[in-house]
């Protein structure tokens, strides 16, 4: 299942962590929600492949620890989403479609 590109309408913003918005529901360690707004990563789909970290030309992503999550115990957090240049490389390379980028969304909070 891919990230829901309409998460802004379908989810509630419940928190801020590592500098980006958290879109619920969140029930750690199994359910971590979607992180970021302009650049959004569904932490419950991310399996820590790392292609987004390697390919992003402006280093938007940073690893964060998510111990106990069933898919992976680290996740690619869009910490620097305000630097995104909308090249869409991360969207293309993610093997599980965990990332959605939309310059029309609000971005960093
Ligand atoms: S769209 Fe491009 S610049 Fe933006 S986060 Fe993805 S790889 Fe980085």
Classify the C-alpha dihedral 69-56-9-20 as positive or negative: positive
Predicted TM-score of the model (pTM): 0.96
pLDDT digits (tens, 9 = 90+) for 7-35: 999 999 999 999 999 999 999 999 999 99
Compute the distance from residue 56 Cα to the ligand 1 centre, in Å: 5
Phi and psi dihedrals of 93, rounded to 5? -90, -15
Was 95 annotated as part of a binding site? Answer: no
Instruction: Identify whether the C-beta of residue 77 lies closer than 8 Å to the C-beta of residue 61.
Output: yes
* Rounded (5°) CA angle 75-41-10: 135
Phi and psi dihedrals of 25, rounded to 5? -75, 145
Query: Which residue's entry shows tokens 């569904």?
Result: 42
Domains, the chain: 7-96 (3.30.70.20)
Instruction: Identify whether the C-beta of residue 71 lies closer than 8 Å to the C-beta of residue 45.
Output: yes
Was 56 annotated as part of a binding site? Answer: yes
pLDDT at 105: 87
Protein residue with least CA distance to atom 7, ligand 1: 56
* Closest ligand 1 atom number to CA of residue 91: 6
Pocket of ligand 1, beta carbon within 6 A: 39, 55-58, 60, 84-90, 101
């Amino acid at each position: 299942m891919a990230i829901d590109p309409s998460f802004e309408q379908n989810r509630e913003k419940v928190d801020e962590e590592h500098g980006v918005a958290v879109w619920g529901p969140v029930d750690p360690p199994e359910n971590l929600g979607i992180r970021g707004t302009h650049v959004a990563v569904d932490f419950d789909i991310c399996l820590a492949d790392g292609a987004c970290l390697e390919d992003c030309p402006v280093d938007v992503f940073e690893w964060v620890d998510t111990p106990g999550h069933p898919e992976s115990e680290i996740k690619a957090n869009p910490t620097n989403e305000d630097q995104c240049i909308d090249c869409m490389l991360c969207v293309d390379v993610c093997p599980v479609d965990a990332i959605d980028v939309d310059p029309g969304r609000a971005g960093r909070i």
